[in-house]
Amino acid sequence: MLLERLCNAASPSAYEGEMREIIKSEIKDYVDEVKVDRMGNIVAHKEGTGKRILIDAHMDEVGFIITGYNEDGTLKFSSLGLVDSKVVPCKVVSLGEKRIPGVIGLKPVHLQTKEESEKNIQLSNLCIDIGAKSKEEARSIIPLGEYAVFTTRFEYFGEGLIKAKALDNRVGCSALIELLKEKYNCDLYGVFSVQEEIKDRGAYIPAYNIQSDIVLILEGTICADMPNVGENLKVTKLKEGPAISIMDETSIFDSNIISEIKNIAVEKGIPYQIRKSTAGNNNGGSYIMNGDSTNVITLSVPSRYIHSSISVCSIEDYENTIRLAKEYLKSL
């Protein structure tokens, strides 16, 4: 399955090379042109005579970057993107293109003082153990600036669910690849963007260069359908369809397009839900602020536990996101 290959790829922010190569090989036979811009974004063009439509899906995942060495051979690190420090300890990671294995270490609970056990975990108090015995050995194995990602593998489980790392935003990338395989009247640009997880940097260039009429963001978004979360905070729910965003921290999305997509969903019998919270953001803000159009909309696949070592989504929601986006494009 394409989504499995994408989820298992290691491509944190600014190190999207593995994803880039997979995507280029998947789309080359379905588009008229494929370019990689100076930031590393893939820009695929399917020529058409209608409106200029840009679909964006970011390639990067949250991860870590190596910032130094401890005397005992363990590694110092910082996050690439927003990662809750509480979910980081004792996770398995791989480092760099060679996939060097490592474990994120934490002082054992038996040795923690009461104060240590009660306060928030700081990444600066953690380390990555690669089995090295000294600073010199660690330096010879892992260079400064090397990246690390979680190693959770893609698996099916439950009834129609998948669990994997990086569903944010491998679901969006996989959906965009599938959309590019179809024919439309619109002049379509597919942008697989870089560095979304570090302040949406990658999208600035295609926003300026392409100057589209409409921008559609495909994303894996917060899903909080959990027993300890109030109903008003259950941003999205699994198996209730793709989520349509009204607003987030950097964007107010186009109400006319929202209405059009909702009408198409009803007409075609495609379930959908409205994303309930304005928390979080995506590349939409970059396109609104740097492009020629404020006609921006986001369709998301609800994904539990994002920005951690594992996330969960529904295959049905993923497939219905593709269906709804495809029907919208055919309507233009």
> Tokens for 197?
């997880």
Pairing of strands 273-274, 296-304: unpaired
- Is the separation of the CB atoms in 221 and 275 below 8 Å? yes
**DSSP characters over 141-155:** HS-TT-EEEE-PPPE
Q: Which residues are catalytic?
A: 196
> Based on the number of CB atoms within 10 Å of its own CB, is 164 exposed (0-12), middle (13-18) or buried (19 or more)?
buried
How many CB atoms sit inside 10 A of residue 273's CB? 18
Pairing of strands 296-304, 42-46: unpaired
Question: 195's torsion region: left (phi>0), alpha (psi -120 to 50) or beta?
Answer: left
E strands, 106-224, are 127-129, 147-150, 155-157, 161-164, 187-193, 214-223
d(CA 175, CA 177): 5
Pairing of strands 273-274, 187-193: unpaired
Helix (H, G, I), strand (E, B) or coil at 73: coil
Helix (H, G, I), strand (E, B) or coil at 330: helix
Nearest residue to 273 (alpha-carbon basis) of 248, 301, 310, 233:
301
Q: Which helix (H) or strand (E) holds 284?
A: helix 284-290
Pairing of strands 214-223, 52-58: parallel
- Is the separation of the CB atoms in 326 and 186 below 8 Å? no
d(CA 124, CA 307): 19
Q: What are the binding residues for Zn(2+)? A: 58, 168, 197, 219, 307
